[in-house]
Chain A
Amino acid sequence: MILNITAVVPENVIIFSKLILVLPFLSFLLLGITGISKFKNYSGIIGITSMLITFVLSAMVAFKYFFNFGKAEDVFQKILIYKKEWLSFSENISIDMGILIDPISVMMIVVVSFVSLMVHIYSAWYMKGDKRIKVYYSFLSLFTFSMLGLVLASNLFQMYVFWELVGVSSFLLIGYYYDKPQAVAAAKKAFIVTRFADLGFLIGILILSYYSQSLDFITTIDRLTSESEFYNNSIAASFIGISALTWALVLIFVGGAGKSAMFPLHIWLPDAMEGPTPVSALIHAATMVVAGVFLVARLFPVYALSSYGALNVVAFTGIFTSLFAALIACTQTDIKRVLAYSTISQIGFMIFSLGISGIGGENGHGYMASMFHLFTHAMFKALLFLGAGAVIHYIHSNEMKDMGGLRKTMPFTNLCFLVACLAIAGIPPFSGFFSKEEILAAAWQSNKTIFFAALFTAFLTAFYMFRLYFKIFWYIEPLKAKAKSEGNLYMIIPLSLLAFLSIFAGFVPFNKIITSDGKAFESSFHFTFSLLPIAVAVTGILISLYLFKSKNNKPAIISSTFGSLIKTVRNKFYIDELYIFITQKVIFSLISKPSTWIDKNIVDGAVNITGNATQTFSEKIKKIQSGNTQNYAFWYISALIILIVIFTYMYY
């Protein structure tokens, strides 16, 4: 690959990108560790300020990268701008703390810092009056730091480090309301499920590091995509007929699938909605859950050039999850859960889009589309969550049955929500239309089955999103009186900015800047092709309109017609129950309990028996030591005689 031409990096970009990591960490330290209660009232300001600066710096780095120094010979470069050895394992293998910038990491820092900034601002309104606000902001800062570290990582293991940190910040924030048992349970579930997936990631890293003898992204990718001894060894070694390299990539993808809530590891995400809503917007919609997409994109050359099998796993996991989650989303009644399943479904889009992509020019269409969708999705999904947060804040309930007719009382939220729904449904010219269009086009070129499945998912998406929209804002007669205000400036600013981007983010020319090989290509965009997806989306919206615009019994009739089918879907295909069965019945009862029993009764039992036996034995033999001289003499002489007899036998 020709990615090793070093571009000249301006000095200030190096400083900026370091600051991007340092600032959120400092604000975490300032808010979290220093127990000075003086800061309590300023925690919002501290958090917002540091995030604002971080965002500005990210934007500047992005601007400079794309327009100034990033290109060399018309190709966007992967540039390692900082590296320090952190934990050295052996000569070649070490965890380095470094900063790697390339189109995707630059795009991600902008997305992460922007959404994080919006959520920081919004939280000042949403979390107002919370006693532990300082802790809340410090966790948010910790999350932002970890996420930025993850996307800027220059080393596979460095990514794993931040990957875990992201996981723990998510855990802390889901369980923020720590006296709510559901929140604690959800936090635990999220952490354990992702931890389980991370086991795959870890073993994948171990395999990869063994064969490539490096953990550095640039070196690893280089070694495993070219005809080198490293590559040959990793292909030659195999386990049950599958090459070591494929194993490594599949296992790494398992880690990604855990974070990105892909089937069957998706079960934690809907429960994670127990966390405060701004947190859901930031972590469980826009940023952390796309880490899996980012991971595959980061190692994409290895997937695409060296392991067709692993890439197929990615593609089919993606499309299946996408369809599966969309079906469930149609039946949920908790508005945050609908959004959660919708997130799973949309991430499925990004994942399969990577899975069907090749590398280089037109072949890399899927890759570009995936990154594009990641970008637009972050905007409109964050907007949806923040909008849902406003509704929840107003109604004090998550359930659809408590809502309806809010369009008059919450006009601003209504407008923002509508924009986001149109964007996710894929109606032009909203942003989601463009990115989804690219994905569908890429799917059309590579795999027709996936294309039609995706098209059907797009239809479901339009349907359930507008079901949600109508159920919240229409359904019943609008309440006329505006009882209380929707929110203050802290709520209006982020929603407006996100709404603006949800409309216009689709005009960013991704095919020019973020491509699989760094070179710009012409996207084959035909309006005739778009007609079908648009028609599908509109159909979905119209069906929703027909069913949910006002209160009627049509939905009830439909659900009674498909009774047990809908029940299965509503119960999320009983996947949670399956997990509970496996963990409780199999692991706890069949493995863990017996091992505890064995430890208590057999291993420790043996110790006790030894102890008791010694005691009994000594009780018996203590009679021998009677202190009676005649006794001793008797034993002495008997033994002597026996010995004489033995010796006589032996020698004669």
Chain B
Amino acid sequence: MITNLSALIIIPLLFILLLLFSKDKLLIKKISLFGAIVQLIYIIFILIAYINQSHKEDFTFINSFSWFKSLNIDYITGIDGISISMLLMTSVVVLAGILVSWKIDFRVKEFFILLYLLSTGAYGFFISLDLFLMFFFLELAVIPKYLLIAIWGSGKKEYSAMKLALMLMTGSALILIGILILYFDTQLHTFNILKLTETDIPVETQRISFPLIFVGFGIFTALFPFHTWVPDGHSSAPTAASMFLAGISMKLGGYGCLRVAAFLMPEATIEYSKIIILLAVIAIFYGALATLMQKDLKYMNAYSSVSHCGFILLGIGMLNQTSINGAVIQMISHGIMTALFFASIGMIYERTHTRKIEELGGVIKSMPFIGSVFMIAGLCSLGLPGLSGFVAEMTIFIGAWQNDGIFYRISTIISCASIVITAVYILRASGKAITGPVKNSEFLKLKDATIAEKTASVLLVAVILIIGFTPFLLINLINDDTFIISQNFLKVLSSK
């Protein structure tokens, strides 16, 4: 009973109901916080139950019933090691996001309800085992983003919100076409992932469906050249929305690429793998170069997200277990790290009212906590050992290097080179904005982080450190499932 996954959707919905009927601003915040904590604890319970189960299957805690019988759409939920780690990451980011939004004062109720809706979409997405259900939850996660940016955003918020919504909708449309092709071209006429894995999807179908689904999900995870919603969207969004957007929403894309595109269609993945790698490497390197030139901290982090999310696709494109492990770790690591980054940038912006690197300086003097948090996020971003980014990137590099051939080698070397550029832009930004002489004497009067902000930061830093210090825990959790995916590729490759 405790492992009924539907509760993951029901709990947030119940809390939304509660929020609808509460009036007091503080009460709304407290309810939201409580809900996020409940969700986190529940996910930890599921994690423990998952680890303790005696027999390991592909997916566990499966719960299914027919949803639209005539169309053969099932409501089916289940998890494996990959999705449980994504769930855990999501709930941590949600909790942190709610904590840093503590000072929101404008349309509080709507704000938190939208955050909850967004997270419900993400939770639902990660536990769905039916393509249609997955699509449904993906859409559920898109709409709140538009409103969050358009209402609570800053800068050219209408433009950014519109751009983001339209581009993501385009992605969704491609995905929808892709899964409909899968539905109609297989004998079973099903969206059920479990059934689809057992049938052989014809290679011709895969060739058409794969690019649609991969690009569709790719738009979510900033696939080059469809990444341009990322900088505008992230920088216009309010802090919590940026955290959700980069931390959770971009991972929906990565997870979708892995679970739907790569997992269901191994033949097409292999055929298209070089293109995937090429686009990933462009995103990694070119994203990093573009980051170098950014003058706004949020733009900087948004572009660096493009670069870092490229690693996810690179890991998938390299087709072996090590690289896929790396891709999954990168999803989690980047989710947490970028949330931390946006949180610290948000805290700085709230106090100094600027995000321009040139206008900031010596922030750490009056705000040592916030400055240190920024530094930790930066060090994680540039892949310092002991923090999660290192684990993810190195795993991808080692995996990538296992593919013999000059194309793979050069791609890997270029990706490796990006970590040098990362170091340059991180240190450039932190050297000017965080340390250095105090630019504005007003900064000296500013107060350091509040308790809520400190809690959020400590939570995220703790996860970064746990992954960084004990990567084997995460690897053990996902190893069996990435093994299945890589085994699919191996089977195809050896049959050729």
- B184 interface residue (CB < 8 Å to A): no
Given contacts A164-B385, A168-B379, A604-B228, contact A179 B292 (CB under 8 A): no
Cβ–Cβ < 8 Å partners of A603 in chain B: 224-225, 227-228
Q: Tell me whether A85 and B290 are in contact (CB under 8 A).
A: no
- A93 interface residue (CB < 8 Å to B): yes
- A191 interface residue (CB < 8 Å to B): yes
Cβ–Cβ < 8 Å partners of A588 in chain B: 292-293
Q: Tell me whether B475 and A184 are in contact (CB under 8 A).
A: no
Distance in angstroms between the alpha carbons of A175 and B325 in the assembled complex: 36
With an 8 Å Cβ cutoff, the count of chain B residues facing the other chain is 54
- A630 interface residue (CB < 8 Å to B): no
Question: How many Å from the CB of B23 to the closest CB on chain A?
Answer: 38
Distance in angstroms between the alpha carbons of A69 and B386 in the assembled complex: 33
Given contacts A87-B391, A202-B416, A203-B413, contact A93 B435 (CB under 8 A): no
Q: Tell me whether A192 and B423 are in contact (CB under 8 A).
A: yes
Cβ–Cβ < 8 Å partners of A175 in chain B: 431, 435
User: Which residues, 349 to 401 on B, are CB-close (under 8 Å) to A?
Assistant: 362, 364-365, 379, 382-386, 390-391, 394-395, 397-399, 401
Cβ–Cβ < 8 Å partners of A85 in chain B: 472
Given contacts A209-B398, A591-B289, A604-B228, contact A90 B431 (CB under 8 A): no
User: Which residues, 272 to 309 on B, are CB-close (under 8 Å) to A?
Assistant: 286, 289-290, 292-294
Q: Tell me whether A179 and B163 are in contact (CB under 8 A).
A: no
- B202 interface residue (CB < 8 Å to A): no
Distance in angstroms between the alpha carbons of A566 and B286 in the assembled complex: 43
**Given B163, B412, B472, which contacts A206 in the complex, CB threshold below 8 Å?**
B412
Cβ–Cβ < 8 Å partners of A178 in chain B: 362, 364-365, 435-436
Given contacts A165-B384, A592-B293, A595-B290, contact A196 B228 (CB under 8 A): no
Question: How many Å from the CB of B296 to the closest CB on chain A?
Answer: 12
Question: How many Å from the CB of A506 to the closest CB on chain B?
Answer: 37
Distance in angstroms between the alpha carbons of A611 and B160 in the assembled complex: 12
Given contacts A87-B471, A89-B399, A203-B413, contact A195 B293 (CB under 8 A): no
A-contact 0/1 string along B222-246, CB 8 Å cutoff: 0011011100000000000000000
Cβ–Cβ < 8 Å partners of B224 in chain A: 603
Cβ–Cβ < 8 Å partners of B286 in chain A: 595, 599
Given contacts A87-B475, A90-B402, A607-B167, contact A595 B289 (CB under 8 A): yes
Given contacts A87-B471, A179-B438, A607-B167, contact A165 B385 (CB under 8 A): yes
Nearest A-chain residue to B225, judged by Cβ: A603
Given contacts A87-B395, A165-B384, contact A181 B437 (CB under 8 A): yes
**Given A86, A89, A160, A592, which contacts B289 in the complex, CB threshold below 8 Å?**
A592
- B428 interface residue (CB < 8 Å to A): yes
Cβ–Cβ < 8 Å partners of B101 in chain A: none
Given contacts A86-B472, A603-B228, contact A184 B431 (CB under 8 A): yes
Q: Tell me whether A611 and B475 are in contact (CB under 8 A).
A: no
A-contact 0/1 string along B418-443, CB 8 Å cutoff: 01100110011001000111100000
Distance in angstroms between the alpha carbons of A632 and B9 in the assembled complex: 47
**Given A86, A191, A196, which contacts B427 in the complex, CB threshold below 8 Å?**
A191
Question: How many Å from the CB of A388 to the closest CB on chain B?
Answer: 26
Given contacts A87-B472, A90-B322, A599-B228, contact A179 B402 (CB under 8 A): no
Nearest B-chain residue to A607, judged by Cβ: B228
Question: How many Å from the CB of B226 to the closest CB on chain A?
Answer: 8
- B206 interface residue (CB < 8 Å to A): no
Distance in angstroms between the alpha carbons of A160 and B390 in the assembled complex: 11
Given contacts A87-B395, A202-B397, contact A192 B427 (CB under 8 A): yes
Given contacts A89-B398, A179-B436, A195-B423, contact A592 B290 (CB under 8 A): yes
- B249 interface residue (CB < 8 Å to A): no
Question: How many Å from the CB of A253 to the closest CB on chain B?
Answer: 17
Cβ–Cβ < 8 Å partners of A199 in chain B: 416-417, 419-420
Distance in angstroms between the alpha carbons of A207 and B437 in the assembled complex: 43
- A185 interface residue (CB < 8 Å to B): yes
- B166 interface residue (CB < 8 Å to A): yes
Distance in angstroms between the alpha carbons of A126 and B149 in the assembled complex: 52
- B321 interface residue (CB < 8 Å to A): yes
Q: Tell me whether A596 and B289 are in contact (CB under 8 A).
A: yes
Distance in angstroms between the alpha carbons of A179 and B362 in the assembled complex: 7
User: Which residues, 174 to 191 on A, are CB-close (under 8 Å) to B?
Assistant: 175, 178-181, 184-185, 187-188, 191
Nearest A-chain residue to B294, judged by Cβ: A596
Distance in angstroms between the alpha carbons of A603 and B428 in the assembled complex: 26
Cβ–Cβ < 8 Å partners of A558 in chain B: none
Q: Tell me whether A206 and B427 are in contact (CB under 8 A).
A: no
Given contacts A179-B437, A209-B401, A592-B289, contact A188 B428 (CB under 8 A): yes
Distance in angstroms between the alpha carbons of A85 and B471 in the assembled complex: 10
Question: How many Å from the CB of A35 to the closest CB on chain B?
Answer: 9
- A324 interface residue (CB < 8 Å to B): no
Cβ–Cβ < 8 Å partners of A497 in chain B: none
Pick 22 A–B contacts, CB within 8 A, sort by A: A86-B472, A87-B391, A89-B394, A89-B395, A89-B398, A90-B321, A157-B394, A160-B385, A164-B383, A164-B385, A165-B384, A178-B436, A179-B435, A179-B438, A195-B420, A199-B417, A203-B416, A206-B416, A595-B289, A603-B227, A607-B163, A611-B166
A residues engaging B (CB < 8 A)?
A: 85-90, 93, 95, 157, 160-162, 164-165, 168, 171, 175, 178-181, 184-185, 187-188, 191-192, 195-196, 199, 202-203, 206-207, 209-210, 588, 591-593, 595-596, 599, 603-604, 606-607, 611
Would you list the 5 A-B pairs with minimal beta carbon distance, nearest first?
Answer: A178-B435, A161-B385, A604-B228, A596-B293, A206-B401
